[in-house]
Structure 1
Amino acid sequence: MTVKISHITHIDNLTSILKQGCLWSDSKRIELELVNQNIGYSHIKDRRLRRPVRVSAGGTIGQYVPFNFCPRSVMLYVIHRGYADFEGGQDRILHLISNTDKVRQTNSGCFFTDIHADLDYAEQIDDFSRIHELDIDKISKERFWSAIKEEKQAEFLAFESVNWNVIQYIGVKTDEMAQEVNILLEGANHQPKVIVKPDWYY
């Protein structure tokens, strides 16, 4: 079962991603001393650097590149509302879209969780025959998700890096953002299609 996955990042990170040719995990990005516009909770990112992974390639959650099984994620709502670590809003956030099969073809160290990976009671699963146990239809399409907040935050995680070539397209909020992204993609070996999807935003 192939499932669409989405990684959000700030447009200011795109040039570095293109130069590196991949998305790095937080742990590897810190090791390489790469500049990054953080859009996540700093205290959660720090905790993920220590939270152990018991399946796949082991290590810690911070050594994995995270994806959600939906655009318009719970974290994007937090970004939209603004918080102490990032008050820049959602307008310049990109959705980098791929699918589970494409990533796993180039990275054998993958697993998924049934809820937010940082929670103590999240189940870590590297048996992908079980991915149907997630209610992907509800996770990806439910716009009013307060009743399924935990399930909405289920994650797909790939060890250390995700090759840029497996990103299929980039979702943005406005035509202006699409133009900016297309300019940054000029000259890149792999240029995913940029699509304007305001319904992926709050």
Structure 2
Amino acid sequence: MPKKSNLIWKFFQTYFLPPLCSSCNKNLGYICSQCHNSLNFKINTSTINSHKHYYLSSYTPQLQNIIQAIKFDQYEKALESISQHLIKTATIQSLIKQYDAWISVPYHQKKQYQRGYNIIETIFKPIFDIHAIPLIYPIKRSKQTPSLSKLSKENRKKVLSKAFSYNKNYNINLKNKKLALVDDIVTTQTTMKNCLQLLDDNYQIDTIDCISLIKA
């Protein structure tokens, strides 16, 4: 029977250390090279209300598997692989650098505490940081909501009603600024629309564009 110390070490290696090549000890990452190389992020366009929406991929089975693993199995390191892929894409760099600031669709504090990290910020903050574009917090999540992934469009509207609010304690002048409102996945547009409405109603912002990793 294996010693208890060996079992503890094996558990630690499996869940806390990245996989290494048994020959050269090279970090293999949390997305295999074949899947990583097949990620094909590019700028696609649509609209949300009257705002431009730039999305970087449709909801492919491959990305669905990655996102599900990240959301439910806590594979934060996989996000960093995606982030590095975006950084290496010149057209995405050109899109990002035009903004004065960016807003991450907010999580409820309890949800972020439970997960331990913010999916949107882990993916997008490194590329915005390259261009010294600040992350700002003019809106907040005022109501915790259940998972939306299996809800219909109408039920999402009900669940998200008054889920976000204007952050009146956040003193910032956004007049004539060009901002990016960023989310990981856009499906029914309900979340983005709620956030856009708050921003349009409370700030004199010149332009707000929406950016998402995936449009389902």
TM-score category by the smaller chain? under 0.3
* Length-normalised TM-score, structure 1: 0.27
State the structure with more CA Rg: 2
Q: 1 or 2, which has the higher helix percentage? A: 2
Tell which has more relative contact order, 1 or 2 (C-alpha 8 A, sep 6+).
1
